[in-house]
Amino acid sequence: MHAIRYDIFLAGPFFNEQQVMLCRDIYELLIDKGFKVFWSYEETGQTKIEDDADAWSLFYRNAEAVKESRMMLAIMDWLNMPGSKVVLQQLQDLRSSKETPLCIPDSGTVWECGMAYAMEKPVYLFTTRPRDRRVNIMLTQCSRGVIHGMEQLKKVLVCRSAAAQTGQPGPYIREAEIADWGGRHQ
């Protein structure tokens, strides 16, 4: 059993400037609300992997931080982020005209979500995409809900001082404010 050092493990891509800016905005909001947050970009300083030792170090530190966190907030925006240079034509060809476009997450973020779920930690998904952009069902079903955008995120976060006033341990996420629920953990 690992000691809990963090309230939230912030999972998400940081492969381009737009992704880093989104992650940083969320990270700073969480810190301002009193959450203790692990964000790999901030904590490890590793943004480039030079060799197997770097890869192992980053993997091990992130896996340990998931174990040391109470919950996970996972950013689902990767493929559809501005600056992501991935051709979407094949995905568009696979869709029928009635389906809505998918929100494609980063594979590392997906792995971290799976680890948190296997450890029975609450997982919350975050996307800036419109509600008609589906998130993969394997992710929605392992999560407690999908948070759509910064405004909704601000509404669901309860800071330490507000939590103390209600007598609840804090900070925490006000699940009743998340309309787009996931599956099993409801």
Can you say how many angstroms the Cα of residue 59 is from the centroid of all Cα atoms in its chain?
17
- One-letter amino acid of 114: G
Render pLDDT for 1-31 as a digit per residue (tens, 0 to 9).
Answer: 678 899 999 999 887 888 889 999 999 999 9
Distance CA 77, CA 128 (A): 7
- One-letter amino acid of 83: G
Distance CA 114, CA 107 (A): 11
Task: Tell me the mean pLDDT in the region 165-186.
Answer: 58
Residue 170's pLDDT band (cuts 50, 70, 90) = low
CATH class of 6-177: alpha beta
pLDDT surpasses 60 at 140: yes
3-state helix/strand/coil string of the chain? CCCCCEEEEEECCCCCHHHHHHHHHHHHHHHHCCCCEEEHHHHHCCCCCCCHHHHHHHHHHHHHHHHCEEEEEEECCCCCCCCCCCCCHHHHHHCCCCCCCEECCCHHHHHHHHHHHHCCCCEEEEECCCCCCEECHHHHHHCCEEEEHHHHHHHHEECHHHHHHHCCCCCEECHHHCCECCCCCC
What lies within 8 Å, CB to CB, of 90 at 6+ separation is none
Of residues 142 and 44, which shows the higher confidence score? 142
Residue 96: per-residue pLDDT? 44
